[in-house]
Amino acid sequence: MKRALLVLTAVLLSVGVAYAAEDVRNTKHNLSSTGSLSPYLTTTTDEVCVFCHTPHFASIAEAPLWNRTEPTGPYNMYSSATIDMTIAGSPQGVSLACLSCHDGTVAFDSLVNEPGSGLDTIGTWSWNNNGNIMTSSTSPSAMIGTDLTNDHPISITYDTTKDPQFRAPVNNRIAVNGTNVTLPLYGSNKDQVECGSCHNPHEKDVATFLRVANTGSQLCLACHIK
Ligand code: HEC
Ligand code: HEC
Ligand code: HEC
Ligand code: HEC
């Protein structure tokens, strides 16, 4: 019995490896007083989710129960002579959610609903310079900015009829060959590539929050036939 249990546990664990290991508390996305960035942030709250989600009064256009002020850009979108698919005029949905920190224009504490009672404003919740740290902190490359012309296209409609050098999605997701990971597409038709197609903001184990390690470029090759 014990042995069977051990075998079962081993099987479950081995199956589990390729799935996302979500534990946002142990990532750079823990902006609370318990996070690794606390020396820069000097926040007094130990709530982790609150920097991105709220149970009430959320703005839901960007991501589920989203708690952040929407960034307004304006953005320069990716363009090139060889691009075949349609790219939106500005970032959509989950990409806007990421950009609400990563374009460097919205302060980390610019929340819809702050911790504590009611729709509080800053209150006793203090912040270094009340600003964002993207320009000055441990990894300046985390600052994507509003010029997205030098970033992989986002808010682009994944359409294999426009370019046959792409793998077809199944149920609006793209399988990463040889793993059990699938990459989601977004938008009302669930057909757009966004930041979240490649990244999972809660991922603990894969570096740079990728949905799957880019070993042998398997992430890129999930979509591109190259
Ligand atoms: C740094 C920002 C950030 C933090 C912190 C964060 N999330 Fe998220 N979360 C997101 C984004 C962005 C999405 C949308 C992702 C998508 O649609 O692929 C999301 C999606 C979700 C979802 C719905 C989709 C899913 O993956 O199941 C749940 C549930 C969720 N988060 C719960 C939490 C909880 C609970 C915490 C705190 C323990 C937390 N999140 C902390 C950014 C964050
Ligand atoms: C609440 C603000 C916030 C939101 C929202 C947010 N991030 Fe971050 N992100 C950060 C901070 C802070 C860091 C760490 C920056 C540093 O180390 O200087 C970071 C780091 C990263 C890194 C680099 C990780 C590393 O190991 O170097 C990636 C990749 C990343 N974020 C992707 C995303 C994506 C994709 C989304 C949306 C799904 C997102 N982030 C949403 C605040 C945020
Ligand atoms: C097509 C896949 C893909 C999309 C879409 C994507 N990223 Fe990334 N991103 C990656 C990969 C792969 C890396 C790791 C690059 C490396 O190791 O240098 C990365 C790295 C990063 C980093 C760390 C800095 C760096 O370059 O190493 C940040 C921050 C980041 N992404 C944020 C975003 C945000 C915000 C969006 C949406 C605006 C986004 N990403 C969209 C694939 C993607
Ligand atoms: C979720 C699917 C997806 C993933 C994963 C992905 N891409 Fe893409 N990529 C696209 C789409 C869609 C386009 C737009 C293609 C078009 O319109 O012709 C694109 C465009 C590009 C372009 C620009 C093509 C041009 O004509 O301007 C390059 C280069 C590229 N991707 C490289 C990469 C690399 C490198 C990776 C891995 C780090 C990657 N992609 C991961 C979907 C993806």
At 14 the three-state DSSP class reads helix
Residue 121: other Cβ atoms inside 10 A: 8
The closest-lying atom of ligand 1 relative to the alpha carbon of residue 98 is 12
Distances (CA, A) of 106 to 134, 186, 220: 10, 23, 30
% of the chain surpassing 90 pLDDT: 66
Residue 108 CB–ligand 2 contact under 6 Å: yes
- What's at 141, amino acid-wise? S
Q: CB under 8 Å to 179, separation ≥6 — which residues?
A: 18, 212, 218
Whose alpha carbon is nearest atom 34 of ligand 2?
98
Strands of the chain (E only): list them.
Answer: 156-157, 173-175, 182-184, 192-193
Whose alpha carbon is nearest atom 28 of ligand 2?
208
Residue with tokens 């982790």: 48
**Could you report the per-residue pLDDT of 189-205, keeping only the tens digit for each?**
999 999 999 999 999 99
The closest-lying atom of ligand 1 relative to the alpha carbon of residue 186 is 17
- Asked if pLDDT for residue 127 goes beyond 60, the answer is yes
- Asked if pLDDT for residue 179 goes beyond 80, the answer is yes
Q: pTM for the complete prediction?
A: 0.94
Could you write out the three-class secondary structure of 69-107? CCCCCCCECCCCCCCCCCECCCCCHHHHHHHHHHCCCCC
**Could you report the per-residue pLDDT of 20-66, keeping only the tens digit for each?**
799 999 999 999 989 987 777 778 889 999 999 999 999 888 999 99
Mutate to test the pocket of ligand 4, among 79, 152, 163, 193 (most ligand atoms within 8 A of CB): 152
Instruction: Answer for the pair 86, 156: CB distance below 8 angstroms, yes or no.
Output: yes
- Measured CA to CA, the distance from residue 216 to residue 8 in angstroms comes to 31
Mutate to test the pocket of ligand 2, among 103, 203, 209 (most ligand atoms within 8 A of CB): 209
Residue 27 CA to ligand 2 center (angstroms) comes to 9
Whose alpha carbon is nearest atom 36 of ligand 4?
220
Residue 145 CA to ligand 2 center (angstroms) comes to 13
- Asked if pLDDT for residue 154 goes beyond 60, the answer is yes
Q: Of 179 and 8, which is predicted with more confidence?
A: 179
Closest-lying ligand to the alpha carbon of 83?
4
Residue 65 CA to ligand 1 center (angstroms) comes to 9
Mean pLDDT over all residues of the chain?
86
**Could you report the per-residue pLDDT of 97-114, keeping only the tens digit for each?**
999 999 988 888 889 998
